[in-house]
């Protein structure tokens, strides 16, 4: 089912964009043809300053004059004027439709960018890069010296895991400078919060390894109920801390 959605989503998107494009192109071409007809033919036959033609086609004056009293030339001019006005009205309608289509195309393009951004391959690469950067960053900071190597691995994995969870939950698409800001300024705070929590929740090395494994793989099958409860207890305040620091992106 997930595969079908992943395949069907982009295909549907392509169909919608293609349909919008062809409709947009068709309307644009029709509008241009109408404009050329009006300018090339109507203006040639009907002088812009022709008082007689204006009088002949004024709806308020038509009943008193009557088409039967017009000369053949006046009738031709009146007909052409009416056709021109009709074509201009159609052009206005088409212009409004084009504006609407442009808006729809913009929405589809935005959807396409978001869909591509959260495609598993692309987003997984981004999260993997964040994980690598966090391992390197934690390894070079003075504050990290109070944690052992295993705890630092868990902290980096936890930071990448929270990065994925938070961005997915809020449907955020970050530019590179925003990613850098999150990695350098906000994820380390979350990682150290988790590190302190691991030190409290784990009563021995085995439990510490189980917590680290959870941050890497989400596995909790080997944890006892007490450890699961303690894990949840350390996660909640750290996630709230991170959410507060990320409010500059969510506006919350």
Which residues, other chains included, contact 79 with Cβ-Cβ below 8 Å and sequence gap of 6+?
A: none
Q: What is the pLDDT of residue 119?
A: 65
Residues 187, 163 contacting (CB under 8 angstroms)? yes
Which pTM does this prediction carry?
0.56
* Same domain for 221 and 197: yes
| Placement of tokens 């070079």 in the chain | 140
Q: Distance between CA atoms of 22 and 19, rounded to whole angstroms?
A: 5
Which residues, other chains included, contact 112 with Cβ-Cβ below 8 Å and sequence gap of 6+?
A: 13, 17
Closest CA to 75 of 53, 96, 93: 53
Domain that holds residue 16: 2-117
Q: What is the mean pLDDT of each run of 10 residues along the chain (252 residues)?
A: 43 57 61 58 48 46 59 84 88 90 85 70 90 97 95 97 96 92 97 96 95 95 95 96 92 67
Q: Distance between CA atoms of 21 and 177, rounded to whole angstroms?
A: 33
Domain boundary residue, one of 117, 142, 171: 117
Q: What is the pLDDT of residue 84?
A: 87
Q: What is the pLDDT of residue 71?
A: 84
Six token digits for residue 196 = 């302190």
* Same domain for 181 and 239: yes
Q: What is the pLDDT of residue 7?
A: 42
Q: Distance between CA atoms of 53 and 16, rounded to whole angstroms?
A: 47
CA distances 85 to 91, 114, 230, Å, are: 10, 44, 77
* Same domain for 111 and 54: yes
Q: What is the pLDDT of residue 64?
A: 47
**213 — phi, psi (to 5°)?**
-60, -35
Q: Distance between CA atoms of 232 and 223, rounded to whole angstroms?
A: 12
* Same domain for 215 and 109: no
> Into how many domains does the chain fold?
2
* Same domain for 191 and 158: yes
Give the containing element (helix H, strand E) for 105: helix 72-117
Six token digits for residue 150 = 């295993």
DSSP 8-state assignment for residue 204: S
Q: What is the pLDDT of residue 168?
A: 93
Q: What is the pLDDT of residue 108?
A: 84
Six token digits for residue 99 = 């504006």
* Same domain for 152 and 32: no
Residues 190, 242 contacting (CB under 8 angstroms)? yes
CA distances 251 to 160, 170, 183, 187, 245, Å, are: 22, 11, 19, 18, 11
Domain boundary residue, one of 78, 102, 117: 117
Q: What is the pLDDT of residue 112?
A: 77
* Same domain for 111 and 182: no
* Same domain for 124 and 86: no
User: How many other CB atoms are there within 10 angstroms of residue 70's CB atom?
Assistant: 16
């Amino acid at each position: 089912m997930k595969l079908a959605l992943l395949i069907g989503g982009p295909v549907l998107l392509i169909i919608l964009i293609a349909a919008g494009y062809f409709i947009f192109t068709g309307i644009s071409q029709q509008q241009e043809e109408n404009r050329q007809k009006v300018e090339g033919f109507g203006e040639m036959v009907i002088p812009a300053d022709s008082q007689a033609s204006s009088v002949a086609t004024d709806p308020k004056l038509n009943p008193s004059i009557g088409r039967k009293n017009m000369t053949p030339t006046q009738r031709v001019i009146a007909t052409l004027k009416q056709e021109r006005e009709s074509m201009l009205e159609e052009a206005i309608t088409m212009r409004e439709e084009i504006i609407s289509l442009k808006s729809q195309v913009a929405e589809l393009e935005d959807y396409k960018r978001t869909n591509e951004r959260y495609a598993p391959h692309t987003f997984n690469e981004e999260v993997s890069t964040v994980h690598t950067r966090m391992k390197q960053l934690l390894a070079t900071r003075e504050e990290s010296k109070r944690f052992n190597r295993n705890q630092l691995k868990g902290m980096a994995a936890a930071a990448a895991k929270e990065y994925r969870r938070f961005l997915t939950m809020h449907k955020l698409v970050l530019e590179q400078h925003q990613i850098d800001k999150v990695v350098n300024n906000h994820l380390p705070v979350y990682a150290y919060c988790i590190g302190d929590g691991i030190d409290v929740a784990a009563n021995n090395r085995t439990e510490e390894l189980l917590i680290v494994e959870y941050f890497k793989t989400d596995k909790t099958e080997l944890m006892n109920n007490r450890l699961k409860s303690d894990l949840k207890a350390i996660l909640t305040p750290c996630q709230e801390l991170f959410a507060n620091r990320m409010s500059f992106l969510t506006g919350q």
